[in-house]
Amino acid sequence: MVVPKVAIPGMGTHDVVYIATENNSLYAFDAATKQAPLWHVSFNSPGITPVPAADTNEGLIAPQIGITGTPVIDVASGTLYVVADTKTTAGPSYAHHLHALDLATGAEKLGGPVVLSGGVPGMAGDAVGGMVSISPLHGGQKAGLALSGGILYVPLAGHGDRWKYWHGWIFGYDAATLAQKFVWCSTPDANAGAIWQSAAGIPIDSAGNAFAETGNGTFDMNTGGRDLGDSLVKVSAAGTLVDWFAPHDAVALGNADADLGSAGPILLPDQTGAHPHLAIATGKPGYLYVVDRDQMGHFNAAGDTQIVQKINVGASVFSTPVYFNGRLYVSPNRGAITAFSVTAGQLSAAPISQSAKTFGMAFLSVSSNGATGGIVWALQGSTLYAYDATDLTKELYDANQAPGNRDAPGPGGKFVVPTVANGRVYVAGQTEVDVYGAM
C-alpha cells in the first residue's frame, strides 16, 4: 500500500509504502528511496506472539500467523486498519485484534485495538447456547479488509480446512469509533463456507453492499436452509443478506474441494444495456459467472441460465480478474493471461487476446495513464511480468530479461498482487519487498 505526501513528524513529507508481516509488524518506508524505516510498530510483546502455525494445523501459512489480510487505509482521516492474530502464551489464549493506526506515526488511534468477537444465532455443530461464534484460534483473517461509507468490513475464513467446524464471516465496524456494527456468517446452521478468496479483498458497491465468494461448505439455501457454501453473496452495510447466487452444482463443488471462492469477485463499472450493474465471480470451477448484482438469480438446478453469462476459461482461477478500458483480464491456473471485451453489459464469448506464455498461478494488476498506456502486470511466484493491455501477445518486460541477474527477486510469497504507484511496482516476498521502476 502506497500513500503520497505523508508528513512524518521530524522527518519531512514522504510518499510512503506500508508493509505488514506475519511476525505482527507494520513498517512505513519511503516509497522512492532505500533507507531505514520511517517508523515500525510490533504487536508482539513478552508473552504475546504471532500464532504458531502448528497450533492451527495450517499448512499454507508457516511458521507463524500474524498479519495475513491486506490492511485498508483511510487517507482522509490518516488511519490504517489492520488485523493481527496473537497467542498469549499464558493459558494459552488466542485473539484477532483490530488496530487503527496513525499513518504518520504508527500510533494506536480510536481506543484500539479491539478484539474481534461475536457471532450469530445458529445450529451449527460448534454452536453454544444457540449461538455460533468466531473462533479466535480456528478462524483466519486472510482476505483483504475493505472500507466504505464509514463502515470497515473484515472478512474471515478458517485455517486450511483443518478443523471439524469453521465458517465464513464478515464483521462490520464503525471506522470512526471501532464499535462493532454487525456480524454475518455464511453457514450459521452447518459448516465451512470460508471467505478466503486467495487473499483478495471484498468489493463494496455505492450503497455499501459487500460482495464475497464463499468456499467449500454446506449449501442448502435452495431447500429452505440458511447456509451458503460455494456462493456469491451480497451483504448490506447493516450486515443482512440482500441477495445471492450459487452455481447449479454447488453441492458437488463443495464435495470435490472445488471452491467457488478461490478468487474474489469484481464489480464492473456501470454498463449500458439490460444489466447495468454486473458482478463477476470465478474460482476453481473454471468459469466466469457474470451476474446482475441487482437480481443475482439465486439457484437453478437445471443449469446457470438465470445469470447473464457463464464463460468457460478452461482451468481453475485463483487470481481475481482485473478490468481496464472495456476489457476483463483473467489468469487461469496453468493457462495464458486472457482478455475478454466488455460491451453493453456482455463479455465476448471468446478471448480477444492472450499471452503467449502460460502461467502456473499468476496474480494480476493494471496500471495506465487514464484511458491510455495500459499495462497488465502479472506476478508468478516472485517474478514480475508486464504486457501491453491492448495486445497481450506483446510482452513489455519480465524480471528474467535483465543481464547479470539484475532484477532477480527475493523468495516469493503466495497470493501476492503487484502494487503499482507513481511509476514503480512493488512486489512483496517472504523476506523483502522488491521495487521496480524505469531506469
Bond before 92 cis per omega within 30 degrees: yes
pLDDT value of position 439: 56
pLDDT value of position 162: 65
Digit-by-digit pLDDT tens for the chain (439 residues) are 899 999 999 999 999 999 999 999 999 999 999 999 999 999 999 999 999 999 998 878 889 999 999 999 999 999 999 999 999 999 999 999 999 999 999 999 999 999 999 999 999 999 999 999 999 999 999 999 999 999 999 999 988 766 678 899 999 999 999 999 999 999 999 999 999 999 999 999 999 999 999 999 999 999 999 999 999 999 999 999 999 999 999 999 999 999 999 999 999 999 999 999 999 999 999 999 999 999 999 999 999 999 999 999 999 999 999 999 999 999 999 999 999 999 999 999 999 999 999 999 999 999 999 999 999 999 998 899 999 999 999 999 999 887 777 888 888 888 999 999 999 999 999 999 999 987 5
Backbone φ and ψ of 397, nearest 5°: -170, 145
Report helix, strand or coil for 223: helix
pLDDT, one tens digit per residue, over 291-323 is 999 999 999 999 999 999 999 999 999 999 999
- Residue position matching grid coordinates 431447500: 223
Cα–Cα nearest to 122, from 59, 68, 169, 190: 190
Q: Which three cell numbers stand for residue 319?
A: 487470481
pTM of the model: 0.96
CA distance 29 to 22: 17
pLDDT value of position 59: 76
Backbone φ and ψ of 91, nearest 5°: 130, -70
Report helix, strand or coil for 56: helix
CA distance 224 to 194: 21
CB proximity list for 400: less than 8 A, separation 6 or greater: 383, 407
- Residue position matching grid coordinates 506472539: 49
CA distance 321 to 328: 7
The torsion of the CA quartet 336, 261, 54, 138, rounded to 10 degrees, works out to 170
Q: Which three cell numbers stand for residue 88?
A: 498469549
* Contact assessment for residue 296 and residue 231, using Cβ atoms and an 8 Å cutoff: no
Amino acid at position 379, single letter: L
Report helix, strand or coil for 222: helix
Q: Which three cell numbers stand for residue 343?
A: 460491451
CA distance 270 to 237: 20
In 10 A of CB 334, how many CB atoms? 11
Domains in the chain, CATH or no CATH each: 322-439 (2.40.128.630)
pLDDT value of position 154: 98
Q: Is 203 left (phi over 0), alpha (psi -120 to 50) or beta?
A: beta
pLDDT value of position 120: 98
Q: How many H-runs (helices) and E-runs (strands) does the chain carry?
A: 2, 37
> Where would I find the beta strands (DSSP E) of 204-352?
210-213, 232-235, 241-245, 266-267, 278-282, 287-292, 309-312, 322-324, 327-330, 335-343, 346-347
